Structure 1
């Protein structure tokens, strides 16, 4: 597969393009061909970015809402204008099929649009206080104020939209942001940095710094960055919480998302199609990709056949092919890990319903397993690869218990048309979101999004992130003013 090698992308230090001393190539996961290059930020450039963010904090917090909103609108317009070339960039650096890359660009456009709107309506509340005798004659004005500079750390699987979810709410809330993209996929984040440099925001308000993961700890621990927003592994997230307990930390740490199919759900074709597709989209490299599938016993044999047939029909291969739905994983090492987990499950007695063949570089066949032991890693941990595990459950209650039998709790999907079952799932499932009649992979970019247990703390979704990036402050006034 031929690729057009792009010019060396500058890094963005306090809104200005610079180059570090050490350049590195970004390679296409499908065939390992170089698709672009940038440079690692030097220690001096990191210091300059953090100092500039600190220096710009007061000015950023005081920016009028219309200035913040117009900057965000500018990025929305420019992303919309460059949608196809941006999607091609996402595919080139992440291996994401172009069809899914286009969806990601559309979502990033929406994220910046929502942020522009929220910047304009991010206001306070007035509370009456004369509900008690000792507060007669007083009222309270409750407003939110920026906590200060934000450190955003993003993963490789959504190299544009997850960057947008760190940067856009920070700008909308008046917080400078220092963004560290994933080393495997820095180009999309640097592209956003270029678009933001075209705005009238204070220079120190935005920096995008490729930094090796082993140097990220210095940024996390820097006291001048009071907010840390991290999306990535539970192991790293837990370490961040231990290292900086005094900071405000927002963590989106993934999961092993489950879907439950009830025996009387009428549209089994829909359920099978959605489970098959969203167990394998992003090559399974999404924290809400379907991993565990629990099916009531009366529907198990039929649903297992339907799901397996649809997984077999998924088109995989060259991610630049518009028909491709399952591309490569981010690296051969990542694919090798998932391949080994499948092998462990099979050695423990699991049955392969489809897939399971040897990997080719970073590409792995979409795989469906059943009869998996309860302690198998493909069931207990986050696979983050194209693997579905099917299990039969006795009834609805047993299905809810099976979903909750996990150290993770991000989102769950329940295929039911029963309102009482939907309300019970909402009440009892230990997750951040319950999706009725669909897979757990659904996400709207304006909704509160996040998890419980090992899946993290805090919420993304533009307004929810703005709340996390700001602190509530009360002004008590006499009501006679």
Structure 2
């Protein structure tokens, strides 16, 4: 911990297994205390190209490594990370202001993610094709194999700085690819930490390169370089669409955003779901891609839900992210606090009601519940990425589904109901990548397919599904003559 908070600590790029200095460094500040916690190397296009070269030269080393050896490296990462879990959680909490209780949960999930990656490394397989099913195929046999794609450019966000790195690095290595990783500018320490772990686990130099610096410089160089065969990005729709437009025929996986919704039917026991709704809306200050942002409650249960949800929300402790009792801490930057306060101010000018919160205390946004918000307000129709949730009344599940679908996003949604027909209707009609029956849309485990529709992006994460994205299918046909 002392090393992390050393104001003079310099963090370098990691290229081809070496720490590389840069001409420029930028101070990294704690989102909570605003104290400087490190100096971060700022890469330019030339150094990014150098990292791509290292990855390109290492792609055959990892690509030709037997599956059991790739799996063993990932298993060793699991062991090392398990031993250093407390350190990892402290790094996450310090650089992102994620409350330590959630940071520890992230580390536990990251360990599982690398476990799944080790397992999937041994499951990459093709299939045989019945060529004689066609008259022209008689006398031939064929099968498919999956080959690593090569160099992968990975651009990761701040909100899960260890686990969302794992969702790109784990399957990439499992599939036999090399990586150039560009972590979020506010949370580079977690990425540099896991790179150390991989080095200790025996990953060959050049397979994982970490390049910190401006996204417009580093990311641009990745997208434009023909040696990078795939870009996997998690972040804002604006940046993701820009990557897609410039990528050409390069593969992309883009997880871009959401304003996830929950439907609560009239037959639901409200007491049984309040804690899940609080977690869904306010864990990590609402800075979760599938954070619960919109709730549509049947009119028969609306008053009860709103009252109990507000009561539970008012109990949440705000403060230092390293305090084990803290549930809500600072947003990632002061600019994000200003933005969200501006959105709340817009809401105050409407007919909506600020039921709880709506203000900042010592630089921390209070967990905020808004009722009767029009769908055109920013807190309703855009991605708020803050501890703000909108609760509205509906007369039927059909009405709620239409309101959920009235969005540019479509990542995940949830419905609480004891009515099978309503559950089936929602699962069919909701325009999202994942529907959670009797749970909040914030639910995710790391082996499930994860991705969305509309402006929420393209492609799927989840280890098995990411491996599919990170491999090329090759067909082999034998003419038996």
TM-score range, shorter chain: over 0.9
Alignment: residue pair count = 477
Preserved contact between residue 45 and residue 221 of structure 2 (Cα < 8 Å) = no
Q: Report what 2:374 is aligned to.
A: 373
Aligned equivalents of 1:161, 1:453: Cα separation in 2:
24
Work out which of the residue numbers 217, 221, 224 in structure 2 matches 1:221.
224
Aligned equivalents of 2:381, 2:43: Cα separation in 1:
37
Q: Report what 2:259 is aligned to.
A: 256
Q: Report what 1:195 is aligned to.
A: 197
Counterparts of 1:74-473 in structure 2, within 5 Å, are 74-215=76-217, 216-265=219-268, 267-361=269-363, 363-473=364-474
CA change 1:251–1:387 in 2 (3 A) is same
Q: Which runs of 4+ in 1 moved over 6 A?
A: none
Aligned equivalents of 2:474, 2:419: Cα separation in 1:
43
Aligned equivalents of 1:236, 1:62: Cα separation in 2:
34
Runs (5+) with no aligned partner, structure 1: none
CA change 1:365–1:68 in 2 (3 A) is same
Compare 5-14 and 96-105 and name the one that shifted more: 5-14
1:49 aligns with 2:51: yes
Preserved contact between residue 21 and residue 42 of structure 1 (Cα < 8 Å) = no
Preserved contact between residue 277 and residue 311 of structure 1 (Cα < 8 Å) = no
Structure 1 residues 236-277: Cα deviation after superposition (integer angstroms, max 9, x where no partner): 111111112221110000100001100101x31132221122
User: Displacement of 1:359 after TM fit?
Assistant: 4.9
User: Displacement of 1:143 after TM fit?
Assistant: 1.5
Aligned equivalents of 2:427, 2:157: Cα separation in 1:
29
Compare 160-169 and 39-48 and name the one that shifted more: 39-48
Structure 1 residues 410-458: Cα deviation after superposition (integer angstroms, max 9, x where no partner): 0001111333322222211111111111110111101110000000000
Structure 1 residues 90-142: Cα deviation after superposition (integer angstroms, max 9, x where no partner): 00000000000000001111111110110011122123233333323333211
User: Displacement of 1:474 after TM fit?
Assistant: 1.2
| SS of alignment partner, residue 121 of structure 1 | coil
CA RMSD of aligned residues (A): 1.6
Aligned equivalents of 1:76, 1:206: Cα separation in 2:
16
User: Displacement of 1:326 after TM fit?
Assistant: 1.3
Compare 38-47 and 282-291 and name the one that shifted more: 38-47
Structure 1 residues 151-209: Cα deviation after superposition (integer angstroms, max 9, x where no partner): 00001111111111111111111111000001111000000111112243332211001
CA change 1:218–1:4 in 2 (3 A) is closer
Preserved contact between residue 317 and residue 326 of structure 2 (Cα < 8 Å) = yes
Runs (5+) with no aligned partner, structure 2: none
| SS of alignment partner, residue 379 of structure 1 | helix
Preserved contact between residue 151 and residue 179 of structure 1 (Cα < 8 Å) = yes
User: Displacement of 1:23 after TM fit?
Assistant: 2.5
Structure 1 residues 12-33: Cα deviation after superposition (integer angstroms, max 9, x where no partner): 1022222222223321111101
Compare 63-72 and 22-31 and name the one that shifted more: 22-31
User: Displacement of 1:42 after TM fit?
Assistant: 4.3
Aligned equivalents of 2:77, 2:26: Cα separation in 1:
27
| SS of alignment partner, residue 47 of structure 2 | helix
| SS of alignment partner, residue 130 of structure 1 | helix
User: Displacement of 1:331 after TM fit?
Assistant: 1.0
- TM-score normalised by length of structure 1: 0.96
Q: Report what 1:477 is aligned to.
A: 478
User: Displacement of 1:321 after TM fit?
Assistant: 1.1
Preserved contact between residue 261 and residue 271 of structure 1 (Cα < 8 Å) = no
Aligned equivalents of 1:420, 1:395: Cα separation in 2:
13
